Amino acid sequence: MTMMKKLHMSAAILALSTTAVAAQEVEVLHWWTSGGEAAAVGTLRDTLAAGGIGWQDMPVAGGGGSDAMTVLRARVTAGDAPTAVQMLGFSIQDWAAEGALANLDALAAEQGWNDVVPAALQAFSTYDGHWVAAPVNVHSTNWVWANSALMAELGIEQPTSWDEFVAAMEAAEAAGHVALAHGGQAWQDATIFDSMVMGVGGPDFYQAAMVDLDPAALGSDTMVEAFQRMETLRGFVDDNFSGRDWNLATAMVINGEALFQIMGDWAKGEFVNAGLTAGNEFQCFRVPGTEGTVTFNSDQFAMFNVSDPAAQEAQLAMASAVLSPEFQVAFNLVKGSVPARTDIPSDQFDACGQMGMAQLAEAAANGGLFGSMAHGHANPPAVQNAMYDVITAHFNGEYDAATAAAELVTAVEIAQ
Ligand code: BGC
């Protein structure tokens, strides 16, 4: 055996022993642990199994604020990266800049990804002109989820303005219901903040503050007003909100305990998983004031550099399956999101899915599509985390609205 061959073999053995990944198997790190999310993971696992690819599950609970990225960092530092990792926006770019991600260009060219993946997603799936991640969906964060029976009982129509939204929550509260189901976790606070910033300031302001990080916008009266709306929302959550998982908040709307939840459309996955139908037992509408805009995030699978050829093949098989039109439909029906391809007909989707697809296309065409700050698509993780701290401290009463806006300016400046 030549020295080269020996080296290759020992590298392969090392890769196998450190990753514990057998031939034709993927180890997937993700934070999809709620009922609806687990069902969505099931569609991917089954699709891969049908192609003879095994699945080693590596779930990290905690929703959008899970420690998945910390776990990942530890694994990579130990020389033991998982084969595929659920990842959002700017994190993909950070890992690509480190040279940690595999190049998917050949597969992308063969399957024409350039032509079907929208530009807003390609901005994150590619680095330096090369494909480094396979997008599985598009979620958006500016949704309200509502219990239809409760709306009927309270005589509430879908609100079309902030004032009507507040009036609806007042009516729910007066009737002894929880007006707004919410879980007090930094990422959930940040998720509703996305919509308050967009609702008060509109698209140009969202761009200036959340994407361009303009200190004048961050510290403006408009931002103070966004924080004041957060205070209004804070007044409508129940006493036990602190630390509650997002899916338990969704369950409160499902079981009629609460009227509304402001949450990304992964919440729809919980309604669907409970056997409920959009437009019947539950309704979705855009957070009043944000109509015409979409704050999006896209779950992508970043493929890490691995040396074992069998693992590389499994990665490509997974990326190929993820982008296939059939899978994009099957997965997103369950997940609550919409496809990451522009060529999928919407007729198989429910009322919320069809609305989501149409509004996404419209927003993309009209300059109304923006990355969600809360979900890593507006600015890099360091800035995002700095924003989380201020938003959560304010939500929990540490700052008044004016102080929060001033703190936001300082925190963002330090984080850059
Ligand atoms: C992800 C969703 C996930 C949600 C809650 C978001 O950041 O994009 O896929 O369902 O977090 O866990």
Residue in 30, 60, 136, 139 to alter for ligand 1 test, most ligand atoms within 8 A of Cβ: 139
- Any idea where the domains of the chain sit in the sequence? 3-139+298-351, 140-296+366-415
Q: What pLDDT sits at residue 216?
A: 98
State yes or no: pLDDT of 359 exceeds 60: yes
Q: What top-level class would CATH report for the domain 140-296+366-415?
A: alpha beta
Distance 350 CA to ligand 1 centre (A): 20
Cβ–Cβ under 8 Å, residues 101 and 132:
yes
Give the H or E element holding residue 405: helix 401-415
Residue nearest to atom 8 of ligand 1 (CA): 299
State yes or no: pLDDT of 262 exceeds 80: yes
Cβ–Cβ under 8 Å, residues 309 and 303:
no
Number of Cβ within a 10 Å radius of residue 332: 27
Model confidence over 77-97: pLDDT tens digits?
999 999 999 999 999 999 999
Q: What pLDDT sits at residue 120?
A: 96
Give the nearest ligand 1 atom to 246 CA. 5
Q: What pLDDT sits at residue 23?
A: 54
370 bridge partner residues: 295
Taking the C-alpha atoms of residue 67 and residue 221, their distance in angstroms, rounded to an integer, is: 34
Taking the C-alpha atoms of residue 287 and residue 269, their distance in angstroms, rounded to an integer, is: 18
Residue holding tokens 């998945």? Answer: 68
Q: Is 165 exposed, middle or buried (0-12, 13-18, 19+ CB in 10 A)?
A: buried
Q: What pLDDT sits at residue 184?
A: 97
Distance 409 CA to ligand 1 centre (A): 27
State yes or no: pLDDT of 250 exceeds 90: yes
Taking the C-alpha atoms of residue 260 and residue 151, their distance in angstroms, rounded to an integer, is: 9
Residue nearest to atom 10 of ligand 1 (CA): 266
> pLDDT band at residue 286, thresholds of 50, 70 and 90?
very high
Give the nearest ligand 1 atom to 336 CA. 10
Give the nearest ligand 1 atom to 299 CA. 8
Model confidence over 288-339: pLDDT tens digits?
999 999 999 999 999 999 988 999 999 999 999 999 999 999 999 999 999 9
Model confidence over 11-48: pLDDT tens digits?
343 344 344 444 589 999 999 999 999 999 999 999 99
Residue nearest to atom 12 of ligand 1 (CA): 63
Distance of alpha carbon 413 from its chain centroid, rounded?
25
State yes or no: pLDDT of 49 exceeds 60: yes
Who's near 93: CB < 8 A, 6+ residues apart? 124, 127, 380
Same fold, 3-139+298-351 and 140-296+366-415: yes
Residue nearest to atom 7 of ligand 1 (CA): 64
Instruction: Write the CA distances from 388 to 191, 202, 395, integer angstroms.
Output: 10, 21, 10
Residue nearest to atom 6 of ligand 1 (CA): 64
Residue of 327, 253, 347 lying closest to 49 (CA atoms):
327
State yes or no: pLDDT of 201 exceeds 80: yes
Number of Cβ within a 10 Å radius of residue 416: 11
State yes or no: pLDDT of 236 exceeds 50: yes
CATH topology assigned to domain 3-139+298-351: D-Maltodextrin-Binding Protein; domain 2 (3.40.190)
Which spans in 79-218 are helix H? 89-97, 105-111, 113-116, 119-125, 148-154, 162-174, 186-206, 215-218
Distance of alpha carbon 7 from its chain centroid, rounded?
41
Residue in 138, 299, 337, 377 to alter for ligand 1 test, most ligand atoms within 8 A of Cβ: 299
Taking the C-alpha atoms of residue 58 and residue 364, their distance in angstroms, rounded to an integer, is: 34
Rounded to an integer, the average pLDDT of 386-393 is: 98
Distance 37 CA to ligand 1 centre (A): 8
Give the H or E element holding residue 331: helix 325-335
Residue in 28, 30, 32, 41 to alter for ligand 1 test, most ligand atoms within 8 A of Cβ: 32
Instruction: Write the CA distances from 225 to 64, 139, 206, 209, integer angstroms.
Output: 25, 26, 13, 13
Q: What pLDDT sits at residue 51?
A: 92
Pocket of ligand 1, beta carbon within 6 A: 31, 37, 63-64, 88, 139, 246, 266, 297, 299, 375
> pLDDT band at residue 66, thresholds of 50, 70 and 90?
confident
- Does residue 87 sit in helix, strand or coil? strand
Taking the C-alpha atoms of residue 387 and residue 409, their distance in angstroms, rounded to an integer, is: 9
Cβ–Cβ under 8 Å, residues 60 and 66:
yes
Cα maximum dimension of the chain: 81
Residue nearest to atom 1 of ligand 1 (CA): 64
- Does residue 86 sit in helix, strand or coil? strand
Q: Let me know how long the chain is.
A: 416
Chain mean pLDDT for the chain: 94
Query: To the nearest whole percent, how much of the chain has pLDDT over 70?
Result: 94
Instruction: Write the CA distances from 265 to 19, 247, 283, 301, 388, integer angstroms.
Output: 34, 11, 12, 19, 20
Model confidence over 159-190: pLDDT tens digits?
999 999 999 999 999 999 999 999 999 999 99
